[in-house]
Structure 1
Amino acid sequence: MNKHIKKVAVIGSGIMGSGIACHFANIGVEVLLLDIVPRELNDKEIAKGLTLEDKAVRNRLVNDSLAMALKSKPSPIYHQKFANRITTGNLEDDISKIAEVDWIIEVVVERLDIKKKVFENLEKYRTKGTLITSNTSGIPIKFMSEGRSEDFQKHFCGTHFFNPARYLKLFEIIPGPKTAPEVLDFLNGYGEQFLGKTSVVAKDTPAFIGNRIGIFSIQSLFHMVKDLNMTVEEVDKLTGPVIGRPKSATFRTVDVVGLDTLVHVANGIYENCKDDERIELFKLPSFIDTMMDNKWLGSKTGQGFYKKSKDKDGKTEILTLDLDTMDYRSKKSAKFDTLELTKTVDKVIDRFTVLVNGKDKAGEFYRKSFGQLFAYVSHRIPEITDELYKIDDAMKAGFGWEHGPFQIWDAIGLEKGLELVKAEGLQVADWVNEMKSAGTSTFYTVKDGATFYYDIPKKSMEKVPGQDAFIILDNIRKSNEVFKNKEVVIEDLGDGILNIEFQSKMNTIGADVLIGLNKAIDLAEKDFQGLVVGNQGANFSVGANIGMIFMMAVEQEYDELNHSIKMFQDTMMRMRYSAIPTISAPHGMCLGGGCELSLHADKVVAAAETYIGLVEFGVGVIPGGGGSKEFAVRAQDTFKKNDVELNVLQEYFLTIGMAKVSTSAHEAYDLGILQHGKDIVVINKDRQIATAKAHAKLMAEAGYTQPPKRKDIKVLGKQALGMFLVGTDAMEASHYISEHDKKIANKLAYVMAGGDLSEPTLVNEQYLLDLEREAFLSLCTERKTLERIQHMLKTGKPLRN
């Protein structure tokens, strides 16, 4: 199907509808967002003398919903200006406009009768050939299109976005009885390439794939918590980051999503999946019934499994629900010996064997939960899907699991997993035993850089489809390794392009990373054509290794510290002035030194979800790896005739001084970190390395030449320095900043002004780098800076002193 999506209509502007509308606006699509007309005036409208015929009243519901979505945090939109791509209206005055759209997405209340009425009305105005989908989370697709025309049914299916639509990657596509195969193929590709999603075609079964497995997993924990006499805190400790799940783990996640939402889906499964061998598990335990009766639904009602409260001193305290007494109490710490054994195991996938062999209650918990999960997912094939990898994809993309159930089973081992299932008194589906008998002992294998999965009908390993657009570093690391040290791996991506990935904790940049970067440039200049700096961890880099800086500063090893800073600066300059194109591929957190690296690359290929900024003020220093220099350079590069140059420089100064961090890659353009016409944004993070490689190859083949070093940087000297110093004096006097904040700001001002030169002067980059390094070093001798660094190392939060 050759179709271009230029405009979509979203019917229903609730949390989900507005979120979907915003995400289409994120990718540049024009959106028509429609909702019902209010039947009565509110107090404000009455006070203004409005009537039910006024447009402001008729569009009130849709406008209020969209406004609320745009104000919410985290934001559903990459940049507030993208909201201009959304036009609002109502289902009476504006429904005829759906004739102009390419795709209609229904997101109204989860009631079949209402949905069918909406579809009946939409068909009166829909143009033939227009895609039409429902965002239902559980109503069978086959019932919705009954009575509609043949063209409607051919172009109709379910497209289930997960909330929030911007952040959760799962995009389930559920065919109806007459959905054309080319429609499914188009949506599958569009979801992955344009929406940045993990597209999963699911069968039309209750709760589809993600919620069927996800709700089972939560329900099994609900029942297990009483069996093992566990607390809410203990379960959340065991089901969070330690096993590659979100920080919100289990109970906090339910609070955020809303207990009523979970109960609605669980009840739907219980009522409609009578053949499910674990159907009784979907019955709600008594403590859930009590919470529902009390309207303890989570964040939306102010209390759920957790509750915010204030103590006698007015300090905010998070209370926890005691599931035995059903009273709230102070939070208790949760500690387990088994978890202590995993502290030295950096990779989550390597922890599972340790966890299931634990000798304490944690070990018992993991054995029971994984045993139940493995048995359950094996029986869902072929009920909810024919391919096991789709279950893993759904859990990773929809519930934020780092690894899906079958990947975890592979990590533990097929035989060990079968033991856990048997210990629970359960059985796996026959196909698992048949697979084992045939001599296949894993669900996945990697061959020639691609992932293969066990295809149950074919009884053989088959390539997971859709990988051709991706480069998966885990799959090529061993076979394509060119160089390795303790903190980096350099891989050959093919076509003359190298990749260097950081493997330090949180991808911090220390000595081994800098050595690796220099080695990568050496190798690329000698035998290759280009270099990508990218990884597929949770974050690109949280910056320089401040623990190392702290130790050198405390020991007063200033010569060594000076050498380390200069090595950082020199490495960044090699990124800028190498003989080959260098591409940075940031994603997630890209802070401090990670941001400085991106500032010095020839091109940035950023994932849309990149949170990038120079945050060094938070630890009492200025950017010392070329970031302060680079912002001074970029400020002067934007000076134009008749500009007030001081104002331009001040904007860049404030970006560093206020430690501004973008909430998306698109916002990074506003901060001067990404540059229009040079840097690009990739919606699907899975495509990022492949896209970065393609740009490196293109630049090399276009005849990349080593750029000459800059000697033409205009610095403003005393003119700018005086302005900055007056400003910091005023801010301290007004108690906006502390005395130490002022000291840091004045150091930055000195660097970005180019010192106290008597008049504007042209200088080279090394001149600014020397000023930057001197300022950084002097701040490292300050007691208050060391207090800030120490506090950050201990708590992960900045200290204002």
Structure 2
Amino acid sequence: MKRNIKHVTVLGSGTMGSQIACHFANIGVKVLLLDISPKELNEEEKKKGLTLEDKEVRNRIVNGSLQRVSKMKPSPLYKKEYINRITTGNFDDDLEKIGESDWVIEAVVEKKDIKASLYEKVESHRKETTIVSTNTSGIPIHDLIEGRNESFKKHFLGTHFFNPPRYLELLEIIPSPGTDRDLVDFISEYGDKYLGKTTVVCHDTPAFIGNRIGTYCTMLTLELMQKMELSVEEVDVLTGKFVGRPKSATFRTADLVGLDILADVAGGIYNNCPQDEEREIFKLPDFIQTMLKNGWLGEKKGQGFYKKEKDKEGNTTILALNLEDMSYHEKDKPRFAIIDEVKKKDSTEDKLEAFESGSTSTVGTFKKMYLNVFGSDNDKAIAFFREFYYRLFAYCSHRIPEITGDLYKVDEAIKAGYNWEYGPFEIWDILGFDDTYKHMEKAGCLPSDWVHSMKMKGFNSFYKVEDGYRKYYDQEAGAYKIVPGSDEVISLDNYRDKHTVFSNDESNVLDIGDDILLVEFTSKSNSIGLGVMEGVNKAIDLAEDESTDYKGVVIGNEGENFSVGANLGMIAINAFKGKIDVVEKAVESFQEMSMRIRYSSIPVISAVHGRVLGGGAEIAMHSDAVQAAAESYIGLVEVGAGLIPGGGGTKEFAKRAADSFEESDPNTEHVQHRLMTIAQAKTGTSAHQAFDLGYLDTSRDGISMNKRRVVTDAKMRLLQLLDKGYAPPDKTKVKVLGRSALSFFYTAIVGMKYGHYITEYEEEIARKLAYVMTGGDVTGEMEVSEKYLLNLEKEAFMELVQNKKTLKRIESLLKKGKPLRN
């Protein structure tokens, strides 16, 4: 049957329930959020003379929960006004309203009897076609449908969102024995396309996939920590960004999640998985028991593995827990030789290979280089990595087919739920299937029989790319199968080997089919340097060349971020050395590239995600259209570096302001809005907010909920432009407001300085920005060319880049990653 989700009811307004409600509101769905009504009045209600029958009282719990969640940072909402899409109520008065809902999601306390009682009421009010799901992470799904009728069972399943639901991509789908298979397929597709999730169908086993493997990783880390006498800080160095995991690593993550949550999940696995060969690892160590007893549960209690203290001057110091005496000390910055060595490596694959070998060349060379300096630290780090990964690989292999029959689902769950760059089986492939297998056997970490069988058949990787598709080893079939959904979505990994038409150190140009080219940035942090500009120009050259069949260009990538902006390092080095001509040439080249993107004879679409800053935003804004992942954070942030946008961004905002003028009233408000956006380095906290800030345009730009689909969606947009008969935009003049508007802005800027909103140097930057956006030294309203504005922009940029205060700002960003306000 055809389904549409227009109305959703969420039962339970706790942290998860309210955030799930917010995420459905994000995508435009009407939401009813319900919770229990209070049993007694609070003091404030008594003073007001209210009774338990007053609506304000009866909805106090749900309204309070929603209000608290709406103030969370980062926000669960794309835009704060989306909260108006949520209506609140209580179980006693409003449960019958679920008859209007297409989907009812239960997120109440993790107690079977409470859920069962609620389901009985839901059953009497739901429509025949209403989906009912539970967000439980610990209660077996099949236990929750006891006593329900066949229609309820057919439409019931587990939908386990990870916290926070907006930001963590994993949605585990757990059918019961009676769940309609078509419903499972529908929820999987809906979660992918509309909620932006990586949807993984799991077996109904304790902790499902994500938490079963993720909790094992945490508990294994705790065991190795004690065994190898590692500190809290050392473990977080070894389990953080350096191995492709979140910077919160192990213990900062535990503090964020809550130690009580970790204890509950670990205890549930221990109690409910008697056949697990590593069951004993899920027992809580003594120091965790002590922390629980002390109430040191993490951030929500002010302390856990870390805590913050402020000195008399108000400066914050981070303290770390010493597990030997359970006292806190100022956080250390541990050093490991292997970590220092792999810092030189760019990719996670290279880092993991270094850990496997013990060095970038040989273990012997590594020890000769570092043993005398670092003592046993070097060996301790390598020993940790080897035992951790060998045991993890073995454990994951033994969970198949227990928790899932498909190994790719383990990797997808860990990547989407725990933000790992690669999943366990992918890491095994990176380290080399055969060699790692031998090392695991030698270490006594024996994988499951199906892995041995796979090896005996001559297969030497869990994944491979074949005929343009990513395939995984299916242990039941004993053969490779296409990863489901990968044939619908473009993955650049599938194109690089055979479809690269141009490459340099900072970019690739790939043929992604249908005569469309894609420019992929490969520079550090996808920063924009000469190599990126060369790649963009080369792709446009090829598409404009009548001797080729290419018709258009997509600019996009699959990095953590689309681009953090122009290569500040290159600018700083040349500016410090006095090579101003080199910087000026780079600015001119960037401007030329931006204008070429705008006026080329073929369509160019930018597919953006993550941080889209500075030059990244300038590339996007000059494209024919932008396809933005919902989680895109777009901003012209050059002021933080003591500069103004110099790759066409200042010109473009002046042009967009002019395009907003009403013919009879070209007032300063439109210019002021965009000037302040640049001057305050405002960055959208979502693609939705980027429209309000002027970075995206409702007349041409679109949003993809799932970032994995953004390149595919951008290509489809490009093909649609071609089908309609693409023609490049006409070059037009830009109306500027001249001296009167400039005087107005100068006065406002001075007022901001005297009000201590901006520094003296920020006043200087803002004045230059205003000068460019009002058209420079022109007497009044007039039309100028884009080239004229670009020259003003370049001149202001070059004046600023030679100022010592700008160079100090750039230096602070490069060394500390923090803006300096001087």
Q: Same fold (TM over 0.5)?
A: yes
Equivalent-residue separation in structure 2 for 1:312 and 1:759 (angstroms): 54
Who is 2:390 aligned against?
371
**In 1: Cα distance, 2:406 partner to 2:700 partner:** 41
Distance across 1 between alignment mates of 2:148 and 2:783:
72
Corresponding residue to 2:464 among 445, 448, 453: 445
Pick aligned residue for 2:645 from 608, 613, 623? 623
Note if contact 1:374-1:417 (Cα within 8 Å) is conserved in structure 2: no
Secondary structure of the corresponding residue to residue 160 of structure 2: strand
Paired position in structure 2 for 1:97: 97
Tell me, in whole angstroms, the C-alpha distance in 2 between the residues paired with 1:28 and 1:310: 42
Aligned match of 1:702: 724
CA deviations over 1:200-241 (Å, ceiling 9, x no partner): 110110000000000001000011101000001111001111
- 1:187 is aligned to 187
> Aligned-pair distance for 1:395?
0.4
Cα drift, residue 353 of structure 1: 1.7
Contact 2:232 2:322 in 1 (8 A): yes
- Partner residue in 2 for 1:541: 563
Other structure's SS at 1:133 match: strand
The 1-side partners of 2:153 and 2:461 are apart by 40
Q: What secondary structure does 1:139 align onto?
A: coil
Where in structure 2 are the equivalents of 1:209-220 lying within 5 Å?
209-220=209-220
Q: Note if contact 1:585-1:692 (Cα within 8 Å) is conserved in structure 2.
A: yes
1:199 aligns with 2:221: no
Which of 508, 513, 524 is equivalent to 2:532?
A: 513
Mapped partners of 1:64, 1:469: distance in 2: 42
Moved more, 340-349 or 635-644: 635-644
Task: Quote the residue 1:720 is aligned against.
Answer: 741
How far, CA to CA, are the matches of 1:421 and 1:265 in structure 2?
28
The number of equivalent residue pairs is 800
What is the one-letter code of the residue matched to 1:250? T
Distance apart, 1:312 and its partner CA: 5.2
CA distance in 1, matches of 2:233, 2:682: 34
Choose the corresponding residue for 1:414, options 426, 433, 438. 433
Deviation at 1:424, TM superposition (A): 4.2
Q: Which residue in 2 is equivalent to 1:54?
A: 54
Q: For residue 157 of structure 1, what is the aligned residue in structure 2?
A: 157
Partner of 2:497: helix, strand, or coil?
A: coil
Whether 1:586 and 2:605 are equivalent positions in the alignment is no
- Of 468, 483, 493, which residue of structure 2 is paired with 1:474? 493
Cα deviation, residue 701, structure 1: 2.1
The yes-or-no answer on 1:279 pairing with 2:301 is no
* Match runs of 1:378-527 below 5 Å: 378-526=397-545, 527=548
SS of alignment partner, residue 179 of structure 2: coil
1:288-340 CA-to-partner distances (Å, cap 9, x unmatched) read 00000000000000000000012354421000000111100111111111112
Tell me which amino acid in the other structure corresponds to 2:741: A
After TM superposition, give the deviation of residue 357 of structure 1 in Å. Answer: 2.5
What is the rounded CA distance, in whole Å, between the counterparts of 2:581 and 2:385 in structure 1? 50
User: Quick one: which amino acid aligns to residue 448 of structure 1?
Assistant: D
Quote the residue 1:685 is aligned against. 707
* 1:575 aligned partner: 597
Whether contact under 8 Å (1:721, 1:756) holds in the other structure is no
| Residue equivalent to 1:560 | 582
What's the CA shift string for 1:725-778, capped at 9, x where partnerless?
101111112222111100000000100010121110111100100000000001
Alpha-carbon deviation of 1:670?
A: 0.5
The yes-or-no answer on 1:786 pairing with 2:807 is yes
- Name stretches of at least 5 consecutive residues in structure 1 with no aligned partner: none
- Distance, in Å, in 2 between the alignment partners of 1:630 and 1:644 is 17
Q: 3-state SS of the aligned residue for 1:737?
A: coil
Q: Which residue of 2 aligns with 1:730?
A: 751
Cα offsets for 1:476-500 (capped at 9, x unmatched): 1111101001100000111111100
Counterpart for residue 752 of structure 1 = 773
Distance in 2 of aligned mates of 1:781 and 1:375:
57
Q: Give the equivalent residue in structure 1 for 2:821.
A: 800
AA paired with 1:199?
T
**Contact 2:213 2:396 (C-alpha < 8 Å) held by counterparts:** yes
Alpha-carbon offset, residue 343 of structure 1: 2.0
Distance 1:108 1:449 in 2: 44
Distance 2:152 2:666 in 1: 59
Structure-1-length-normalised TM-score: 0.99
Distance 1:788 1:720 in 2: 29
Provide the rounded CA distance (Å) in 1 between the counterparts of 2:19 and 2:787: 47
The answer for the alignment partner of 1:349 in structure 2 is: 349
Shift of 1:641: 4.8
Which amino acid is the alignment partner of residue 617 of structure 2? Answer: C
| SS of corresponding position for 2:276 | coil
C-alpha distance in 2, partners of 1:5/1:161? 17
Measure how far apart 1:706 and its partner are: 2.3
Aligned partner of residue 124 in structure 1, secondary structure? helix
Amino acid at match of 1:790: E
Which residue of structure 1 lines up, in the alignment, with residue 686 of structure 2?
664
SS of alignment partner, residue 650 of structure 2 = helix
Instruction: Give the alignment's TM-score, normalised by structure 2.
Output: 0.96
1:8 aligned partner, one-letter code? V
Q: How far apart, CA to CA, are the structure 1 residues paired with 2:691 and 2:249?
A: 34
Q: What letter matches 1:799 in structure 2?
A: L
Give the deviation of 1:420 after TM superposition.
Answer: 4.1
Deviation at 1:245?
0.4
For 2:820, give the aligned amino acid: L
RMSD: 1.1
Identity of aligned residues (%): 53
Counterpart in 2 of 1:764? 785
Offset from partner CA, 1:335-368 (integer Å, 9 cap, x none): 1111122123211123212112225211110001
C-alpha displacement at 1:558, in angstroms?
2.1
Q: Partner letter of residue 669 of structure 2? A: N
Q: In the TM superposition, what is the alpha-carbon distance from 1:416 to its structure 2 partner?
A: 2.9
In the alignment, the residues of structure 2 paired with residue 743 and residue 788 of structure 1 have an alpha-carbon distance, to the nearest angstrom, of 14
SS at match of 2:125: coil
Contact 2:658–2:666 at 8 Å: present in 1 too?
no
Partner SS for 2:213: helix
CA distance in 2 between counterparts of 1:490 and 1:324 reads 54
Q: Which moved more, 1:557-566 or 1:183-192?
A: 557-566
CA positional deviation for 1:797: 0.6
- For 2:801 and 2:422, the matched residues in 1 are separated by 41
